[in-house]
Amino acid sequence: QACTYPCQCPSQALQCPAGTSHVLDACGCCKVCARQLGELCSLQKPCDHHKGLYCDFSKIHRGSGICLAHEGATCDLLGKIYHNGESFQPTCKLQCICMDGAIGCIPLCSDDLRLPSPECPNPRRVKFRNKCCEEWICEEGTEENRLETAMAVFREDPAEKPEMNNLQENCLVQTTEWSACSKSCGMGISARVTNNNPQCRLEKETRLCMVRPCDFPMEKTKKGKKCVRTPKPRQSLHFEFSGCTSTRSYRPKFCGSCTDGRCCTPYVTSTVDVEFRCPEGDFFQRKMMFIKMCSCHYDCPRDNDIFLATYHRKMIGDHV
């Protein structure tokens, strides 16, 4: 009854606390900050359904309820028990939530990358007193060091045509190889550094990656062969990321397995823009790695976990 159409939403961007979802109100009109466990809720102030919360109107008071979590397993972190749906901060750098026995955390400090540039030849992260997050400072370098940094990014000879003599034309494009995927199965992140932009500034780029689904059935190797390097799924599939689903289906190649103790990882990849649709109706695009060829090698991640490994194998031959 309180809904009015056409929708009229605030013009300013929605500012929500860290770890709080943006959800549609009951009218399906405007995004609002989702209410958290134990907070008052209503049709216009819904609970965070991404975290399994619902609005309990059993003790209703003037149209308001209270956000409760569906029955689920509790979480144990360093001997402390957290209830399903409960948010907590184990350190000042992390905001976490217990979701049916699993703990998910987001960083409260930015993990930005700062590389040397002519304006800031020696960037360094410093911990200040009474501040949780480290901050970047620029140490003054010698004029010689500043010149070397500038020469590394820009061409020595300017472009011949005067009208083309700008930052982008004189930029000596430098791009690193994509890093290994952050997860050995399921959706992960791969990163690289490039200055291929109008400002010719070194920046970090990321893309989604999936070496193989975690429930991917390993094919049996043929007689005389030691591995199935690059199998394709029999059916097309939709990718899922942060509760959103790709708008079209794909039949990507994945990396298989080796029977002789070697690891199988991507070797030649391409990067494609994939569009995702969220339950609230939003659309967004992310770059995603698509595997062209895998290789078997002995430079294996320890315990099948790339985060614990001294694993620096690069993926080559990237075609955008």
Q: Is pLDDT of 147 > 70?
A: no
266 close to 177: Cβ distance less than 8 angstroms: no
pLDDT of residue 319: 44
Angstrom distance (rounded) from CA 133 to CA 282: 32
Q: Does pLDDT of 163 surpass 60?
A: no
Give the pLDDT of residue 270. Answer: 92
CB distance 178 to 289 below 8 Å: yes
Cα dihedral 137, 139, 145, 150 sign: positive
Statement: residue 259 has pLDDT above 80: no
Q: 7 CB contacts (<8 Å, ≥6 apart)?
A: 27, 29, 30
Position 303 confidence tier, pLDDT thresholds 50, 70, 90: very low
Q: What is the Cα 21 distance to its own chain's centre? A: 16
Q: Whole-angstrom distance between the N-terminal and C-terminal Cα of the chain? A: 50
For the domain bounded by 187-216+225-297, which CATH number is listed?
A: 2.10.90
Rounded distance, CA 236 to CA 139, Å? 52
Helix or strand run (H / E) with residue 150:
helix 143-153
Name the band, by pLDDT with cuts 50, 70 and 90, for residue 275. Answer: very high
- For residue 287, the Cα-to-chain-centroid distance in whole angstroms is 11
pLDDT of residue 243 exceeding 90 = no
- 113-144 pLDDT, tens digit per residue, is 676 666 777 788 888 888 888 888 887 755 55
Residue 163 φ/ψ region, left for φ over 0, alpha for ψ in the -120 to 50 degree band, beta for the rest: alpha
Q: Is it true that the peptide bond before 279 is cis, omega within 30 degrees of 0?
A: no
Is the pLDDT at 251 greater than 80? The verdict is yes
Q: Do 35 and 51 touch, CB atoms closer than 8 A?
A: no
14 phi, psi to nearest 5 deg: -75, 125
In 100-148, which ranges are E strands? 102-107, 122-126, 135-139
Residue 249, phi then psi, degrees to nearest 5: -95, 155
| Position 209 confidence tier, pLDDT thresholds 50, 70, 90 | very high
pLDDT at residue 157, as a whole number: 54
Taking alpha carbons only, the member of 191, 205, 195 closest to residue 175 is 195
Per-domain boundaries in the chain: 187-216+225-297
User: In this prediction, what percent of the chain has a pLDDT beyond 90?
Assistant: 8
pLDDT in tens, 2-36: 677 788 888 888 888 877 888 888 788 888 888 88
Is 264's pLDDT higher than 70?
A: yes
- pLDDT category of residue 317 using cuts at 50, 70 and 90: very low
Q: Using CA atoms, how far apart are residues 66 and 57, in angstroms rounded to an integer? A: 7
pLDDT for 165: 41
Single out the residue of 147, 149, 191, 155 nearest to residue 173, CA to CA. 155
